[in-house]
Amino acid sequence: MTAHSHHAAHPHSTQDALLHAERLCASRGVRLTPLRRRVLELVQSRAEAVKAYDLLAQLSTEDHTAKPPTVYRALDFLLAQGLVHRVDSLNAFVGCNHPDTPHAAHLLLCAQCGRVEELHSDAMDAAIAQAVAATGFAARHARLEVQGLCAACVAAAG
Ligand SMILES: [Zn+2]
Ligand SMILES: [Zn+2]
């Protein structure tokens, strides 16, 4: 049983993440088109969650063909490939640094700096699965979004 968190996105690893995504898509036989790649780059370059609206605003200054449906389709592709996670409570997206295997990404949301971290906990997943199964409910997936302060903001406030 392990529990660990890490930064979901990290500015210095954006290029690494893009290279990784290119290799992953090639191995899966799916296309990381220039727009999909650019959307991923914009999401990965931020430690905070990024709203589709902000992506559209950014892309429209670069490429006037980037209309909302195109950007939403690019996001759907990135979600389906596990390259980004949706942050439901913020209606926004964060990059994933380990998209190779599907995983339940619980998210820790810092109210102070906006950083989003992933939390992986086998113990938590097992506890949720057990508690839900006891009700007879057939769960498809369960993902928690925890609001609070990140370790850096706690330290700064201390
Ligand atoms: Zn992830
Ligand atoms: Zn913070």
1, 16, 108 from 45: Cα distances, Å = 31, 11, 18
* C-alpha of residue 31 to centroid of ligand 1, in Å: 20
Residue 1 falls inside a structural domain: no
Task: Please write the tens of the pLDDT for every residue from 66-77.
Answer: 788 889 999 999
Mean pLDDT (whole number) for 106-110: 96
Ligand 1 is a single-atom ion; what residues have CB below 5 A from it? 96, 105, 118
* CATH number of the domain that residue 130 is part of: 1.10.10.10
* C-alpha of residue 71 to centroid of ligand 1, in Å: 21
* C-alpha of residue 1 to centroid of ligand 1, in Å: 18
Inter-residue contact 132 to 139 (CB < 8 Å): yes
Residue 26 falls inside a structural domain: yes
* C-alpha of residue 48 to centroid of ligand 2, in Å: 10
Task: Please write the tens of the pLDDT for every residue from 73-94.
Answer: 999 999 999 999 999 999 999 9
Residue 3 falls inside a structural domain: no
Ligand nearest to the CA of 143: 1
Ligand nearest to the CA of 44: 1
Q: For the chain, what is the domain count?
A: 1
Residue 122 falls inside a structural domain: yes
Q: Which domain holds residue 30?
A: 8-157
Kindly indicate the confidence band of residue 110, based on its pLDDT and cuts at 50, 70 and 90: very high
- Name beta bridge partners: 50: 93
Task: Please write the tens of the pLDDT for every residue from 12-47.
Answer: 588 999 999 999 999 999 999 999 999 999 999 998
Residue 2 falls inside a structural domain: no
Ligand nearest to the CA of 105: 1
**Whole-prediction pTM:** 0.84
